[in-house]
Structure 1
């Protein structure tokens, strides 16, 4: 389907979705690099509230930082919840500075973001990042994709019939890779390569229930089509 009729999230929206759904991040300052798991929240302005790790190194660095600001990079890795080849879907790096917020927390103020995914690298300004909203499915996507993958034979494999024959040529399996309000992205796997293809929804989904209905609508279209070459079904 032509790109003009197949909308996708903007890089800024993708970045906000990564921020919304991520459970871990890596903070790099001049003197340290540490991974924080389950120790951050994101506010409406895309600022990150970071809880100090047990060694409290961030607070120690901030205590001696000029004017109380500490330059830092914060990195996120977006990994597909389904076990596919090359599971990293995107990497998001935020540049900005840290300031203290009480004795046990710091705030990261982003100045810009760099998103790298299959479409390339996009530099996102602070205004874009602040104005963009995370996808309404972002925090539900992992569970929904896992359920789709578990129902592979009944749901995912039939959806491949909606794809042009040239895209399915040589494919040995099809897996659900990404889900957002605009549609579902399938990964067609061949022995030594893969192809990611989007199946657009008829209208954007505003919540998970709508996305489920849209997927059922796509499945109805797919099963109404005559079968051609069938992709193998995983055991």
Structure 2
């Protein structure tokens, strides 16, 4: 099967949470005044604090003014959606519980509890680690990178399946790029029933698009020297009949 990967680093929970926050376009806020969805209304400070621009007549603004300071008065929810149209596109959800303060015409959110839920389960993110963490350097470019890989280079995606254990490809009908970060690329393996994800770690972190290009070339070179994924080939052959 060619060279096996031994470097399996992945983003820590705090970094992953900051990446979800950095890339998200929408935000759902649940407070005493009800539930509101906001599009393109939030920005993120260097420490992870969320700043939200809301209309002057928003019930959320009134609730923030009236809520006791220091008590959890709102929950912010962010969804991490895969840019490539795979099954079950929600890759993660991020919840921040806390309270709003009115500052210079916008709402500043102070989190008292942060929960990140991914396919592997939910984890409570340490507040200090969250404040000190930085988003993955590829977080805001990920959508463009993955859609380009899926649309313009499906042959490369198929070649990368040679790095996947044959058992993981059993019954596969489609393989698409699901996620990429500085530590590696994740493939979504869709089967007739259900799906699974396989992570292909890079040999070293990629701190920018240029380094990512080199890391992908290394993976593809390893894939070229690996044996073909017979399970995937057999499934496609059967499907062509």
Fold similarity call, TM over 0.5: yes
CA contact (8 A) 1:28 1:34 kept: yes
CA contact (8 A) 2:24 2:78 kept: yes
- Which residue of structure 2 aligns with residue 33 of structure 1? 35
- Which residue of structure 2 aligns with residue 192 of structure 1? 193
CA contact (8 A) 1:70 1:99 kept: no
Partner Cα separation in structure 2 for residue 221 and residue 70 of structure 1? 50
- Which residue of structure 2 aligns with residue 18 of structure 1? 20
Q: What is the count of residue pairs matched by the alignment?
A: 233
Distance 1:13 1:65, change over 3 A: same
How big is the shift at 1:6? 0.8
Deviations 1:108-159 (A, max 9, x none): 0112210110110101121121122111100010110100111343210110
Unaligned residue ranges in structure 1 (runs of 5+): none
How big is the shift at 1:67? 5.1
CA contact (8 A) 2:25 2:39 kept: yes
TM-score normalised to structure 1 length: 0.91
The DSSP-based 3-state class of the residue aligned with 2:193 is: coil
Unaligned residue ranges in structure 2 (runs of 5+): none
Partner Cα separation in structure 1 for residue 37 and residue 159 of structure 2? 40
- Which residue of structure 2 aligns with residue 57 of structure 1? 59
The DSSP-based 3-state class of the residue aligned with 2:150 is: helix
- Which residue of structure 2 aligns with residue 214 of structure 1? 215
Partner Cα separation in structure 2 for residue 50 and residue 68 of structure 1? 18
Partner Cα separation in structure 1 for residue 179 and residue 68 of structure 2? 43
CA contact (8 A) 1:29 1:70 kept: no
Distance 1:171 1:68, change over 3 A: closer
The DSSP-based 3-state class of the residue aligned with 1:7 is: coil
Partner Cα separation in structure 1 for residue 149 and residue 155 of structure 2? 9
CA contact (8 A) 2:43 2:51 kept: yes
